[in-house]
Amino acid sequence: MSHLSRRTTALDYKLPQTVEYIQQGWLNTCQSSAAISGFLTVTSTLLLLFFKNIANFDSARNNSHGILLCLDIVGYASIFLNISSCMSCFILLDRLGEVPYNASRDPNVPMGGRTTMGQESVLRTYGIGALWKWVIWHWLFCFVTGLGTIFAQILIYIWLQESSQTQVALSCIGAFCILPFVAFLLAPVVNSIRKRNQGSDTESARTPTPRPNSGSSPVIPYPSSPIIPPSSPISTIGPRDRHMSMATSFKGAPGI
């Protein structure tokens, strides 16, 4: 009985094509993100070493100790966030690599057909694990904030050392550069709102429009037609019958 209840692995199992495409897309995204996070970690370390050197600051500007301390904190936070983003990518890659094996051990996974589930639900059905969603949000938060801290370090240094014209110009350029990341973060919210609006429009279109009450609608009076007096009755007796009736009346007359 113990051998019968043991879970087996299908050695010739292959993921459905759509599930394989979803898995491959996430693999490419996580691999690219891991490489970018590693590069950002090195960049954050070099920036921190640069900002820790007092010789790189103009002593004539009398920079406050609080701003310099804030710059150091942002520099250290950038290193931690980018390292954490890189580690999250490795966890995601490991979970994605185990999807075919986990699905091959589950005899109840669907092999085809159609579904209304999203990518996350599809991957969870095929064995991605319950923590996939939380690791995704952790990776996304660390990746975006880690990149943002690098921009923050550069902008803080510009506002401490450069002229007013340079400060305004480079601040505008920095704001323009982060627009794609803002759009990337707001895209799920905008899509969810759009889907809700489309669903409400569809429901309103399916709802039948009530007919107006005939009793409450105004009655338009039509002018009554004049009463035509009945015409004299038209005899339906033919000419031959009329002559025969006249002859009969003459025969019945007295003295004839």
Summarised one tens digit per residue, pLDDT across range 120-179 is: 888 888 888 888 889 999 999 999 999 999 999 999 988 888 888 888 998 899 889 888
pTM (two decimals): 0.67
Main-chain phi, psi angles of 191, to 5 degrees: -65, -40
Q: Tell me the Cα Rg of the chain.
A: 44
Tell me how far apart the alpha carbons of residues 180 and 159 are, in angstroms, rounded to a whole number. 24
Counting Cα atoms < 13 Å in the Cβ hemisphere of 176 gives 6
Give the model's pLDDT for residue 45: 94
Q: What percent of the chain has pLDDT over 90?
A: 30
Tell me: the pLDDT tens digits for 31-75?
A: 999 999 999 999 999 999 998 888 888 777 777 788 888 999 999
Pick 67 or 217 by higher pLDDT.
67
Please choose, from the candidates 133, 122, 88, 129, the residue with its C-alpha nearest in 3D space to the C-alpha of residue 19. 122
Please report how the helices 179-206 and 132-161 are oriented relative to each other, as an axis angle in degrees rounded to 10.
130
**Angle in degrees, 0-180, between the axes of helices 132-161 and 17-52, rounded to the nearest 10:** 30
Position 88 scores a pLDDT of 94
Task: Please name the amino acid found at residue 58.
Answer: D
